[in-house]
Amino acid sequence: MPPTPSRRRTPGQLPQVGFVDYDDPLMLGTVAALEKDLLNSEGLLARYRTEAVADGLAAGEHPFLACSFWLVEQYAHSGREDEAAALMNQLVGYSNELGLLSEEYDAGRSRMAGNFPQAFSHLALVRAADALQEAHARAQLVG
């Protein structure tokens, strides 16, 4: 079945690949669970709870910017445009003077962390910007 505008993209990547719609109740429930379990006080989304998994890495990993940009994309495609725009502005503010982003962000120390520059962060930024632009265009058509 060819993708329709609402099914073009579809945790985390399920809507992007067309498995489920961004506004499907199952996806919205997943987002609510991610917000409850992985969203920190600065509004950044962690990849997972590092202290709960024995993966060989030290506990306390900083939130991945790609995860938070994914959340912008999810918000924009599920009717939460104001939250998407606010989070996008926050995340873009973490870039350096050249517009480069790291893998993680340490909000407590107001510094980039992890690999730098990080291509996945930039790819997620582009997808988030595209989602915000699409949400804005939809709002213009409706309003």
Task: Please indicate, yes or no, if residue 2 is contained in any of the structural domains.
Answer: no
**Residue 10 belongs to some domain of the structure:** no
**The tokens of 112 are what?**
């980039």
Domain containing 68 equals 25-142
Q: Does residue 14 sit within a domain?
A: no
Question: What Cα–Cα distance (Å) separates residue 124 from each residue in 47, 56, 70, 136, 143?
Answer: 14, 26, 6, 18, 28
- Over pLDDT 70: what percentage of the chain? 88
Tell me, yes or no, whether 131 lies in a domain. Answer: yes
Q: Token pair of 38, please?
A: 């992985």
Any idea which of 25-29, 31-35, 52-56, 82-86 has the lowest mean pLDDT? Answer: 52-56
The reported pLDDT for the residue numbered 64 is: 92
Q: Evaluate if residue 1 carries a pLDDT over 70.
A: no
Inform me whether the pLDDT recorded for 47 exceeds 90. Answer: no
21, amino acid identity: D
> Is residue 15 in some structural domain?
no
Q: Would residue 91 count as lying in a domain?
A: yes
Position 18 in a domain: no
Arithmetic mean of pLDDT, 28-32: 94
Calculate mean pLDDT across residues 49-73. Answer: 84
**Structural domain count of the chain:** 1
According to DSSP H, which parts of 39-114 are helical?
65-77, 81-92
CB 111 within 8 A of CB 93: no
Q: What is the pLDDT of residue 18?
A: 80
Mean pLDDT estimate for the chain: 87
Residue 125 in any domain: the answer is yes
